[in-house]
Structure 1
């Protein structure tokens, strides 16, 4: 993992505190006034002043999002919202497809997905915006058994590949096939959730698997599985998405959630061994597996913006080529509408100012 410069999470600039006309010397007071100031800066005073009270905060945790596991384990969101009597409801997402389903149905307000999967969801009407980057991972590759005769992507023609539709590994698979002049019609894709894909590969029910960490790391260490094809540029960013109605109605709460994510991001850099232990215990994998997973994540770039937009626009043609979106869909416009740089920017800037 790349080191991240630490900062005092609960320190904010005096002018931000003055903006909301309040100065509270307790730790919770500082955090709440900071979040209110951030909400004022992002959304405007009128909206913040009339924000609806939040009775329940619904968000996901995922084995592919170490921040979510750290936050959940330490109870940081429960602590943050305790004085407001807001109940925190955690929902396990086993893949981007599940997180997007939960977001679309309103089962969660905030969910973690891969970037290209979020584009696909947005293009199909999911009312979300990507407001934060929880990691820049290499979390997927094409995996084969250690004794497999398959040596190249071209060798996959006519073979069975396990992949979870609507997720980064599924889209990674399609892009990988294209590098060898193959398409989805040249293989048989077996739609299985990520852990089931690993089991199917180990049992010989499929020839290859579009892996996802930590399951992929476990397959390597525990099963001796081999990574057939890797391409970090085909791994899209880890997006924290929020429903548009939640962004509109609960700006203060969203700012506070992102501040807690910032706390977790910096804590992970400062406590790699503790993070690995939490990931191992929550994901029910061995410590070496958790460490391998974490070694493939870069937590240093939390701000969504132009870099993610450019990467997604470069990747988006696969959605058209494979007819995963309606004909005529303007994916560039979808991506521009999805990636929202405004929400996280003041949160990250406020946190960074605490280091100066």
Structure 2
């Protein structure tokens, strides 16, 4: 009897394990989808422009998609931007996150169990603004001066890349951590000498409060910033069908945004976040919305994130490493593109940012 007891115990454990796996496979899908966005609209309004996810939220497309299943969609917009999103992910308060490149990298390198499933808001620009009456005309003119940057966000990474190319770093300035709204206010009152901002800074220029002395427009694509949609590994594991449906809605929205006929409508829609229509127009001036709205996780996107990780490590923003092959998951967007028959709609870029020539095309 003693000899056969271990065998019976093993069989019992195996049977139990199979039952648990079977139960998990038959488990009901999630009844709530929680999405976090790295930022808020002006005055804390729960809306943010830019990218397909912004339009999906404004138009209530996910709510429409999942209502027949009784699945609630819950949106959270974080004033603390990327760092606050990472905290929410760490505390399992959200399942998906729309966030910029640097905080995405910081979170993953710090151990957050996530997967990037969609490019959302790519090739965005960063601007260095100074008060309108400032005598500064270049970055070098601000050495030793008070410069604001929202630390832990994609703006900080872009700014550090720009400074490095000029043999400079944050240490050459009195760098102050400020969120976007605070930095804009500080520029208006001249409490700071400059600020790194995105499209929201254009309204300060229109009001005669500030001027741009550096822009990433016209510069190599390596100076731009990227954003993405990610999902927690746990939610993806338990609800792959819901992930696919959500991504398909986003890809369909990205297609609508990309059409020239919808350009002004889209920018007007995004202005609901408080950034004026005129500012959105200036951000996208001379740029194809189709290019900027591509959801593809192409070679450029992947190479950019790999390079961004190395840069962030060099700037001592990140310590850990990332297995990109396991982290970036293109199967959902690829499937959505196929189902929507959009295989040749968006232009894929190679690792250097050049148009990728397909075989036979």
- Normalising by structure 2, report the TM-score: 0.77
- Cα 1:353–1:71 shift into 2, 3 Å: closer
- Could you tell me which residue of structure 1 aligns to residue 35 of structure 2? 59
**Residues 187 and 210 in structure 2, CA contact (< 8 A), matched pair in contact too:** no
**Structure 2 Cα separation of the partners of residues 265 and 348 of structure 1:** 11
Q: Name the counterpart of 1:165.
A: 151
- Determine the structure 2 residue equivalent to 1:41: none
Query: Quick check: 215-224 or 183-192, which moved more?
Result: 215-224
1:261/1:189 CA distance change after superposition, 3 Å: same
CA 69–341 in structure 1, closer or farther in 2 if over 3 Å, else same:
closer
1:320 and 2:313 correspond: yes
Evaluate the alpha carbon distance shift between residue 157 and residue 335 of structure 1 in structure 2; reply closer, same or farther with a 3 A threshold.
farther
Give the whole-Å Cα distance in 2 for the aligned partners of 1:316 and 1:84: 39
> In 2, Cα distance between the equivalents of 1:140 and 1:70?
22
Comparing 173-182 with 56-65, which one deviates more in the overlay?
56-65
Shift of the 192–300 alpha-carbon distance from structure 1 to 2, 3 Å rule, reads closer
Q: Does 1:273 align with 2:264?
A: yes
Shift of 1:52: 4.1
Structure 1: distance between partners of 2:173 and 2:342: 51
1:258 Cα deviation from its structure 2 partner = 0.7
- Residue 201 and residue 335 in structure 1: after superposition, are their counterparts in 2 closer, same or farther (change >3 A)? farther
Q: Quick one: which of 92, 107, 111 aligns to 2:77?
A: 92
- Counterpart contact for 1:280–1:287, Cα < 8 Å: yes
Determine which structure has greater relative contact order: mean sequence separation of CA pairs < 8 Å that are 6+ residues apart, divided by chain length: 1
Q: Which one of 249, 262, 266 corresponds to residue 251 of structure 2?
A: 262
**Counterpart residue number, 1:156:** 142
- Residue 243 of structure 1: CA displacement? 1.2
- Equivalent of 2:107, from 105, 111, 121? 121
Cα 1:353/1:316, change in 2 over 3 Å: closer
Contiguous gaps of at least 5 residues in structure 2 = 1-21, 40-47, 346-361
Q: Matches of 2:297 and 2:266 in 1, distance apart?
A: 24
Asked if residue 292 in structure 1 is aligned to residue 282 in structure 2, the reply is yes
Change (3 A) 1:223 1:351: farther
In structure 2, C-alpha distance between the alignment counterparts of 1:124 and 1:286, rounded to whole Å:
36
Query: Number of residue pairs matched?
Result: 305
Q: Does 1:303 align with 2:292?
A: no
TM-score by length of 1: 0.78
Deviation, structure 1 residue 339? 2.0
Distance (whole Å) between structure 2 residues aligned to residue 177 and residue 354 of structure 1: 38
Q: Is the 8 A contact 1:119 1:335 kept in 2?
A: no
Structure 1 residues 207 and 256: alpha-carbon distance in aligned structure 2, compared to 1, 3 A threshold: same
* 1:33 alignment partner in structure 2: none
Native 8 Å contact 1:184 1:322 kept in 2 = no
Q: Report the 3-state secondary structure (helix = DSSP H, G, I; strand = E; otherwise coil) of the residue aligned with 2:119.
A: strand
**What displacement does 1:116 show?**
3.2
How far 1:79 moved relative to its partner? 1.0
Q: Which of 320, 326, 330 in structure 2 is aligned with 1:341?
A: 330
Equivalent positions of 1:1-356 (< 5 A) are: 50=26, 52-61=28-37, 63-94=48-79, 95-213=81-199, 215-223=200-208, 225-231=210-216, 232-270=221-259, 271-281=262-272, 283-295=273-285, 298-326=291-319, 329-330=320-321, 333-352=322-341
- Equivalent position SS for 2:205: helix
Deviation at 1:143, TM superposition (A): 1.8
CA distance in 1, matches of 2:249, 2:180: 28
**Aligned-pair Cα RMSD in Å:** 2.6
CA contact (8 A) 2:337 2:343 kept: no
Q: Distance in 2 between matches of 1:240 and 1:82?
A: 22
In 2 relative to 1, CA 152–68 (structure 1 residues): closer, same or farther, beyond 3 Å?
same
> Which one has the largest radius of gyration?
2
1: CA distance, partners of 2:159 / 2:138: 13
